[in-house]
Amino acid sequence: MSAPLSWPEALERIAQLETLCGLNWQAPIEFGLTPVEHSFMGLLMRAPGVLDRERAFELLYWDRADTMAGAKGLDTLVCKLRPKLRAFGIEIVTSHGRGWYLSSEAKGLSASATRTGAASSRLRFTVKA
């Protein structure tokens, strides 16, 4: 059995896990996302396929898991996020009864905008749904 982690080691491990699942992903400021929208978008970016509703809820609202917000809260989040991303040609696709995903093309556009640090007026994204 290994020794327990020190507080700084535990915080570092938490940060590593958040990075792995995408919770600390940051979109360009021009996207105008809230902190939870950034986290949700990060989950979509890191998901290998469909981001499962239950997994998204657990990761985003782990500290409020006993609330009734559940599915409705996530639906509202996606509903508010879609127009912000659509302005840059990025679509969140619904997999009915399962969750959401971004096409590989949309993931590429999002990653590209993040790397360049801006989704400036000279950048125009087009993603066909």
- d(C-alpha 107, C-alpha 100), whole Å: 13
Taking the CB of residue 57, how many other CB atoms lie within 10 A of it?
19
User: What ranges in 30-103 are assigned the alpha helix state H?
Assistant: 35-46, 53-60, 70-86
For residue 4, pLDDT over 50 is answered with: yes
- d(C-alpha 48, C-alpha 54), whole Å: 16
99 in Cβ contact with 50 (< 8 Å): yes
Ordered structural domains, the chain, with CATH: 7-116 (1.10.10.10)
Q: What is the pLDDT of residues 65-75, one digit of tens each?
A: 556 566 678 88
Q: What pLDDT score does 100 carry?
A: 94
Q: What is the pLDDT of residues 30-52, one digit of tens each?
A: 889 998 898 898 889 888 889 99
